[in-house]
Structure 1
Amino acid sequence: MDDEAAEIELLEQNLNKTRQISQRMTAILSSFDGRLVKLEKAILPLYASTQLLTRRAGNIDSVLGKIEEVASNRDGIATEEALILRGPQPGQLETYKEALERLNASIAFKSSEEDTSQAARIVETGATKVTQLYTKLVAEGSAGVPPGGPDFALTPFDVSLRIQLNPIVSFLRTLPLPATHPNHPAALAIQSTLRDAQRGYGEMRGSWSRKCLEPHAKRLLERSETVDGVLAGREVGAWVQNMLSVAEEEYSLLSDLAPISSSSLVATTFSSLITPLISLFKSTLSSLNTSIKRSLQRHTFLALSTYTSLSELETRWEDSMCRRAGRRENELKDALSSLRSVCLRSFPELIANIKAGAMGKGGELSTNVVDFVTSTVEFLERVPEVKAAVGSALLKLGDGNWKMGEGITVPKTARLGEGDEDLILENFIFDVVNTTITSLVTLSRSQRRPTFGSIFLLNNVSYLRTHLLTNGPDALLSSQGRELLNSNFRTAKAKYMDANLSPLLAALGEDKDKSKSSVKEKFTRFFDLLDELLERHAIAEVLPDESEGDERERVCQEVVPLVVSLFQGFVQKNPGKDFSRNPQKYIKLSGAEVEAKLKSIYS
């Protein structure tokens, strides 16, 4: 306990000493604070005087710096002007660009009005110099002789020129314009210079593009008069595809090389660029259309094939030649409309030409296949190649209107629309076939000798049937059309046999007169008619266009047994010794020889 009391007493003593020390420190600090207040009051007037002097010294230094800056700026403008007036030198475009940027900076920081005006004039001059270099390089890439040859090849912009142009275009796009630098005194003049350069770009590239495509347009028109119509129509489509490819390539190039890259001005420039192409397109299609109209039946498939080829390009044309150029006119639609009108005319004219084929004067007629039948077959055989165009045009013309209103009445419920192309095509082909057969029947009846008329009808109907059912567009014929061909072929064959064989068969027919003179007369009549038959068929061949001879063989198999069996039966009933001492005088040929003679007709 004593130790603890001693420790407590010692702690109290230390606490008292600490308290005394704290009191003395507080007294000292209070005295120091009072002295500081007195010092502040004493030096405050001196501080205020010093601050005023410092501000005045700063103003003097600023004035001196400005004077020095103006003097150096005048020397700098003179130096920049000399550099810029020389124009951008090879390999020094960056130096030229930096000089113009320094001048633009001096204008931005508002030097004197005189200096700003002078700097703006120099900046405008520099912009003009760079723009002239730009135009020069574009002109070099848009000149020369386009590649020749029958096949079109897209001519790319020269790569070396493109490399030179890229930094120039990048620099031109940084020049001050009213939209980006409304207060720059040269902005309006620079914008006008760049617009002129961009307009010139469009004109040069447009002229070059037309120059590349024009020789192929001329060749196209020349070939349209000599080559197959469907092929020529496809070549027209290929040429327009090439034109669209050129336009698309030029739009991409313009987007990269336009000095002013705003979408509205690019569209305006592109519209100017493609104007020569559109002019070439219109003149070429107009010439082609005139040629088609001049000889429509000859060029029907050229019109149909061209219409098909161009129809496939409608969307692409709208995108490339209208939307990108901000144009509402659509020359491809106009061309298609004109072509469709021509195509619509071709169908009634085909029917009219077939009818006109039956308007010939009566008299002797060749038994060969007539021109309007071969041309009709050629037309129908080629329809599948342009089926879409034919179906579309027929729908536009209207079901049955190709007959030019020949008393036809189409019920409202039967009117055809989109999706009925196959049906209206079947109807049209049926009417073509029916009109052709009607004209053939009319012509066959106009013959002075029915025997030749029957051969003419059989040959022509057979040609029509063979080519349309065997070699032609069988899939486009309706069941009614196929039956029309088959039934008329059967009818033609029956008429042929009736006109040519009935007299021969009738010569050996039964009658009441069984006298020897009657038998002699029958044999004489039979062989006279047989000679006439052979002579007739030597002049008028039956089914000459049956390349494989299948149908001709069937006719032979029908004719020969019928005649030979009747002849042999008559010979058996009338042996030679019964009606004549010299039967060889009347029975000139044996049954086998008659058979051989008849078979020779169809060999």
Structure 2
Amino acid sequence: MSVTEQQLGELELLSQSQLKLNQLTGRITAILSSFDGRLRGLESSIVPLHRSTQRLLRAEVNIDRTLAALERTETQQASIADLEPIIRTGPSADNVPAYLEVLDEIKITYSYVESTGNNASGRRIQELMAVGADRLSNLLKSWVEAESEPIDPREHLQRGMQIPAFSDVLLKAIIPILNYLAGMRSGGYYLTGALNAYISARSAFVVSSLSMVHTEVLDFVETRASGSVAREDGEENTYIRGMGGFQSLVESTYELCSFELQKAANLLSSMNPLPPPEVSQTTINIASPPLSQLVSTASNVSSTLTRANASKKPQRSLGSLSFHVGLVLDFVSTLAHSLPTFEKAFTGHMTADARARKTEGSIRELRGVEKTQRQLCAGCLRQVIDGISTVSAKYDETEGTASTTVHDISYDSLRLLLQVYEFRSISGPVLRELGSGNLMPGTNAPPMLNVALNGVEEEQANHNVLVNYLNNIVATLLSALEQRSKSIRQPSTSAIFLLNNVGFLQRELAAAPVSQNNNVSMLEVLGQDCDDMLSGTLRSAHTAYLDAWGPCVQALMEDVPLAGGTQSSGAKSKLATSLGGGNDKAIVKDRLARFYECLDDMEQLHRAFPFSKEDLEVRTKLLREVSRMICPLYNKFIVKHRQSGFSRDPSKHIRMTEKEIALKLDDIFR
């Protein structure tokens, strides 16, 4: 067989095999198609069943969860019902930890209820949490109040005593409560309530501690502002800085409030974690009630002083005016110096709390009171010069007979002058605001001295206008004293009155220090103008007084005729005029008798109207000048006529030696 036939046979065989294979493939495909159809039918039957099974399984899980939740809710509701009475009853001092555990359970319950969205139960639990926080705050407040017994702040501040601090026991008790409340709710919601309780207790402590001081200030001003009970004798009518209690009241208010704010800051700094700044700043509200209390008192004092100043009663005495002016200046000075400190300490805090705004409002009200009282100060400063210038020029019946002692006019005017300068921080600016044109005194007073203020620094300008004003007080007083001296009939007594009063003024002004820290006297502050006014008045009174010794001198001057038994008030220059005379024995005897009579009159005069014991320099100077006038003339007269034999018994007419005359003069001026 050839190769070709063999290959054809193989091809034929291969073709048959391929045909059989195709037949098998077709049958297998038909079988698979039938199986696929059956699977689709099975799937369509099983899938719904599977889905139903899954739904049932999920329903079973949900039912189990619901039953569990219902069981848990029922348990929690029962627990809340059991815990509610405990929470509403509140803690006691010995069960605080147990109470906090109860609140912890409530907090856990609230967290669960909040996750379930049960708003009704959530509100109930929130209410219980608020009640629990409130009960803790009340307990904290009761503990703080137990250590908040009122004190007298003046005893502690003036004596350097420390204000009572909290005990360690109290601090250890309240700090855990504050920490717990801070963690109960974010933002310090419940902590704020506890701080409000603390603030209420401590502000009540401050108000109670200051209550007596406020009452004393109001009583003092009410009874003394009008001068109705001010006496004209003794120091009760002298106003001394701080006498009204304003400074003590303001300082006590500031110190107590500052101490409480610092104490609250120290308390909050002990917390862990530290509270938010907006919560910490609420402690400023401790100062709100005390400042409102201070505003009320300041307003009442202002009203009382204003009414007293505008009273239509008869014009007050200089003593009463001095007391009133001191009262007003002290009040305004205290407010003016304290308000910047108050503003720095109690304003500008980062809190929107209404009470904090009220604190700032109180300080604004105090500033308004101070501004109103500055106007009252201006009125008082006008009254000072007018009051001195309108003093009666004559002694009235209530004063009795004329006296050469230092008059109340001098005492009261000097007191007014020193008071105005003592409160110069207020009186200077007020005077400058008014200007000299608004302070012109009455027509009987000397003119105002103008001071140029252009280009002068403000402080120096205030000082200049104040010194100008004080010099006008001195000028007005000297004018009033001169008018009063003219009402005294005897020129010698009138001169002694001026010497005593003006000498008193000069002496006191020279001895009055401006402050405790320097040796500058008030007379140096007032300057050369004041010294010239005082010295000029003293020179005039000095000359008038020496003229009173004219009759004694005239009796010893033989070239001057005797004045017929009456004293002559002519000047020494007139006495030196030659008017004739003689050496007649009778005339010599008359002259000696007249001399001794005049000398006795002067002695009686000085006993009735003596010089001031304090003014040694004036008395010494006058003794020296009178001795120069009398002793040489007397010695010359005695020596001349003792040898002339004017009498058989000269000792009968010559009663005293020159030495005895000198001793007598020394005794007169002692």
Could you tell me how far apart the structure 2 residues matched to 1:587 and 1:571 are? 8
Could you tell me how far apart the structure 2 residues matched to 1:391 and 1:470 are? 22
Aligned AA for 1:74? T
Gap regions ≥5 residues in structure 2: 1-35, 41-45, 157-161, 225-235, 310-319, 350-355, 513-520, 560-578
> Could you say which residue in structure 2 is the equivalent of 1:151?
155
> Could you say which residue in structure 2 is the equivalent of 1:316?
341
In structure 2, relative to structure 1, the CA distance for the partners of 1:375 and 1:125 (3 Å cut) is same
Stretch of structure 1 that moved more, 219-228 or 275-284: 219-228
Which of 322, 335, 352 pairs up with 1:297? 322
Residues 373-415 of structure 1, C-alpha deviations (whole Å, 9 max, x = no match): 0222334445554332332333234336444465957879557
In structure 2, relative to structure 1, the CA distance for the partners of 1:271 and 1:399 (3 Å cut) is farther
Residues 15-52 of structure 1, C-alpha deviations (whole Å, 9 max, x = no match): xxxxxxxxxxxxxxxxxxxxxxxxxxx9xx9xxx99x9
Offset of residue 531 of structure 1: 1.8
Could you tell me how far apart the structure 1 residues matched to 2:428 and 2:126 are? 65
Stretch of structure 1 that moved more, 195-204 or 344-353: 195-204
Could you tell me how far apart the structure 2 residues matched to 1:601 and 1:410 are? 41
Which of 633, 637, 648 pairs up with 1:566? 633
| 2:551 equivalent to 1:503 | yes
Contact 1:523/1:587 (8 A) holds in 2: yes
Offset of residue 250 of structure 1: 4.1
* Matched ranges for 1:6-405 at <5 A: 59=58, 63=62, 66-67=65-66, 69-81=68-80, 82-87=82-87, 90=95, 91-111=97-117, 113=118, 116-142=119-145, 145-147=149-151, 151-152=155-156, 154-156=163-165, 160-175=169-184, 202-220=199-217, 229-233=239-243, 235-251=245-261, 271=285, 274-275=288-289, 277-283=291-297, 286-287=300-301, 290=304, 293=308, 295-324=320-349, 325-326=356-357, 327-329=360-362, 330-361=364-395, 365-381=402-418, 385-399=422-436, 401-404=438-441
> Could you say which residue in structure 2 is the equivalent of 1:38?
none
Could you tell me how far apart the structure 2 residues matched to 1:315 and 1:543 are? 47
TM-score (norm 1): 0.76
* Matched ranges for 1:540-559 at <5 A: 540-546=609-615, 549-559=616-626
Contact 2:448/2:472 (8 A) holds in 1: no
Could you tell me how far apart the structure 2 residues matched to 1:266 and 1:341 are? 40
Which of 515, 522, 529 pairs up with 2:598? 529
Which of 469, 493, 497 pairs up with 1:428? 469
> Could you say which residue in structure 2 is the equivalent of 1:592?
659
In structure 2, relative to structure 1, the CA distance for the partners of 1:555 and 1:524 (3 Å cut) is same
Q: How many residues align?
A: 539
Residues 431-459 of structure 1, C-alpha deviations (whole Å, 9 max, x = no match): 11111111111111122221211111111
Offset of residue 140 of structure 1: 4.2
Contact 1:236/1:309 (8 A) holds in 2: yes
Could you tell me how far apart the structure 2 residues matched to 1:410 and 1:470 are? 25
Could you tell me how far apart the structure 2 residues matched to 1:542 and 1:58 are? 126
Aligned AA for 1:352? D
Residues 154-184 of structure 1, C-alpha deviations (whole Å, 9 max, x = no match): 444565444433333334344458x89xxxx
Aligned AA for 2:473? V
Offset of residue 196 of structure 1: 7.5
Partner SS for 1:120: helix
Residues 97-143 of structure 1, C-alpha deviations (whole Å, 9 max, x = no match): 432332232244235x4xx4213312321321221231233144236
Aligned AA for 1:513? G
Could you tell me how far apart the structure 2 residues matched to 1:468 and 1:73 are? 93
When the two chains are superposed, the root-mean-square deviation of aligned CA atoms in Å is 4.1
Gap regions ≥5 residues in structure 1: 1-41, 181-190
Aligned AA for 1:73? R
Stretch of structure 1 that moved more, 342-351 or 221-230: 221-230
Offset of residue 369 of structure 1: 0.9
In structure 2, relative to structure 1, the CA distance for the partners of 1:486 and 1:412 (3 Å cut) is closer
In structure 2, relative to structure 1, the CA distance for the partners of 1:58 and 1:492 (3 Å cut) is farther
Contact 2:140/2:197 (8 A) holds in 1: no
Aligned AA for 2:289? T
Could you tell me how far apart the structure 2 residues matched to 1:442 and 1:337 are? 38
Could you tell me how far apart the structure 1 residues matched to 2:393 and 2:541 are? 20
Could you tell me how far apart the structure 2 residues matched to 1:278 and 1:505 are? 75
In structure 2, relative to structure 1, the CA distance for the partners of 1:344 and 1:157 (3 Å cut) is farther
Stretch of structure 1 that moved more, 447-456 or 278-287: 278-287
Stretch of structure 1 that moved more, 586-595 or 245-254: 245-254
Aligned AA for 2:621? R
Could you tell me how far apart the structure 2 residues matched to 1:497 and 1:467 are? 25
Aligned AA for 1:308? S
Offset of residue 288 of structure 1: 7.8
Could you tell me how far apart the structure 2 residues matched to 1:581 and 1:66 are? 154
Aligned AA for 2:210? L
* Matched ranges for 1:440-455 at <5 A: 440-455=481-496
Contact 2:302/2:369 (8 A) holds in 1: no
Could you tell me how far apart the structure 2 residues matched to 1:128 and 1:334 are? 43
Partner SS for 1:230: coil
Could you tell me how far apart the structure 1 residues matched to 2:167 and 2:621 are? 71
Could you tell me how far apart the structure 1 residues matched to 2:322 and 2:139 are? 52
Aligned AA for 2:468? N
Partner SS for 1:109: helix
In structure 2, relative to structure 1, the CA distance for the partners of 1:252 and 1:454 (3 Å cut) is closer
Offset of residue 558 of structure 1: 1.4
Could you tell me how far apart the structure 2 residues matched to 1:316 and 1:80 are? 56
Could you tell me how far apart the structure 1 residues matched to 2:237 and 2:657 are? 56
Stretch of structure 1 that moved more, 442-451 or 273-282: 273-282
In structure 2, relative to structure 1, the CA distance for the partners of 1:79 and 1:321 (3 Å cut) is same
Could you tell me how far apart the structure 1 residues matched to 2:55 and 2:522 are? 107
Aligned AA for 2:248? A
Residues 236-266 of structure 1, C-alpha deviations (whole Å, 9 max, x = no match): 3233222123333444566767999777787
Aligned AA for 1:241? E
TM-score (norm 2): 0.69
Contact 2:451/2:464 (8 A) holds in 1: no
Could you tell me how far apart the structure 2 residues matched to 1:120 and 1:400 are? 74
